[in-house]
Structure 1
Amino acid sequence: MPSSPSELPEEPDRGTSGAVPAALPQNEFARLDSLRRYGILDTPPEQAFDDIAMIASALCDAPIAMVTLVDAERQWFKANRGLGDLRETPRELAFCSHAILEPDRVFEVNDALNDPRFATNPLVLGAPGIRFYAGAPLVAPDGMPLGTVCVVDRRPRQLCERERQGLASLARQAVAQLELRHIVADLTVQSTTDVLTGAWNRRAFDHRLRQEWNRHARAEASVGLLMVDVDRFKAFNDQHGHQAGDQALIEVVRRAQAPLRAIDFLARFGGEELVVILPNTPLVGAAEAAERVRQAVERATWSVQPLTVSIGVAADEPRLDSDPRALIARADRALYEAKARGRNRVCVFERWT
């Protein structure tokens, strides 16, 4: 007699590709936040991670080895040995999506064709023909599993204990590289960011101006520059105190940034002076941007007393053999004119005399 429907074995849920997607970790949102904190997704290959994949391949005598990260809808390869230029696969196909569900051990599939979770997976039935998989989860210091160091073979097999321990060690090294990379990035940001306002600092500005100067010289395009000075800021500090002055400067930066484009670069030049690089902007466009900044500050609601800014504008079509500091000098000269003519205005550099 046929079995009733309730007595039939349950078929695993299959995604649109025919694969059996892994369940989402219970802490999936926190896990994705932890992953994205590292800012590593879609970054170029790096030797440290390539070396980890190479060692994993040699250690386990496997033709394919990867350092993978499991994103919301994809598995992305930070390092890949044996799969050519492939950089990612859909998450529902990823063996690593199953591995991160058990972050305290090496996840091993001895023969994918005999495992109902993977027997219909396109990566098993087609290229690259996965039969064996072993993945050691990458576990961040906050306990979140991010991906794996994994090895793949086209024949059924299993790891010995030495290989299993070695793969787990390589996963810890990969996490150490992620942490080191994150620390270096933080230090870079700290060294190029103004502590008070959060804007870029003079060091970052000097570097960016040289980059934009060279890029515009090659493209034969114009780059604009604004020098922005907070009017009578010393008197404001003397009357209201430096704490109020600091808060006012923070607000000026916020207001000045608002009308700028995403590609524009605002930095604190020093004291109450700001500077803005305007890529691909001729003199007329730079003057228009300056007026938008001036109005944004003038029309703001101020808690202590109203503030305004004076702005000097310059633009140039750079040459590779010219000095970008000349552009700064021109904008500074225009700023001097704006202050001399009564402040709270925009002046454009025209000539030195």
Structure 2
Amino acid sequence: MSRPFISVCIPAYNRAALLPQVLDSIVAQDFTDWECVVAEDVSREREEIRAVVERYAAAHPGKFRLHLNPQTLGYDGNFRKLVELARGQYVFILGNDDFVAEGALRAVHAGVQRHGEVGAVLRSYTFFVGDPSNTVQVSRYYPTERVFPAGRSAILACYRRFVSVSGVVFHRDAAAAAATAEWDGLLFYQQWLVGAVLAKKPLLFLPEILAHFRRGGTPEFGTAAAEQGRFTPGVQPLDTHLKLVEALFTIADGVERETGLTGIAEDIRVDFGRYSYPTLREFAGRSRPELWRAYRAFSRLGLNASPWYHMWFAALMLIGVRGMEALAQVVRRVLGHTPNFTAAVR
């Protein structure tokens, strides 16, 4: 059997009712050289997920495959399992309640044809509420297509921007070669792959929208053995956010150690400080005392390495979330893309 160009990989855990819409977004693509792999991670809706995937596999022979994990691997382990299972030259990771954008797979294929083999694709995407047509935000990092050479610039351009996973594209064999369980339970396996893969291969940015992200929903991490004791399913208090940021920086230290790129971990910390507004916004929406506690806590983790961190805090204290969101939308419309504060990757 010939190898497909791309494997759309879905880590499945509950949300079976949404899965048909997710799979429909793949079937609707105007590009046919794909397969879809679903890895179910022992959720309470396993049988419902099995029924959905088997129905699509019967309707589209050779396109859909289902893997049932014998035990819960958790986010990182299931991500790694999907890369292992994928037969495509590239893997396109898709959350189990998000959508592949119209024309996305063709856009990835065309970009790779223009530029040759790349380690990853940095995507543009939207956030929606309820239905993908109800777009509430467009995230596009640059106005036009571009390639970052392997190494520091590719990693910096991508590390923070791969925190949200849908639409993340990696070179499958390079990702498989970097497989490790070292970061299981930290919930950011893709950050490890950013460092390990892009240290050796270039990064391609595409301005086309590749994925639609569903805004809202309840996180369900915390059930796998590697996640227990760190996270509680359905709960995201301040200490959970602190653990997530700490995990990102722990992996950054590992990337520096593995790649030998001196100072890359500190560069990543500074970059997160520059773009810490979404992190602080979460707490500004609760109360000013909660925002103040978060500001002090994240400072201790190193986000205060950038002056932008202090500016975001002050702005949220002064004009609040609504004022900042309105201002951000105006800036995005004027620029046509998300503002870029990182000089090294402009």
- TM-score scaled to structure 2, two decimals? 0.25
Greater RCO structure (CA 8 Å; 6+ sep): 2
Please state which structure has a larger fraction of its residues in helix: 2
- TM-score scaled to structure 1, two decimals? 0.25
Instruction: Please tell me whether Structure 1 or Structure 2 has the larger radius of gyration of its CA atoms.
Output: 1
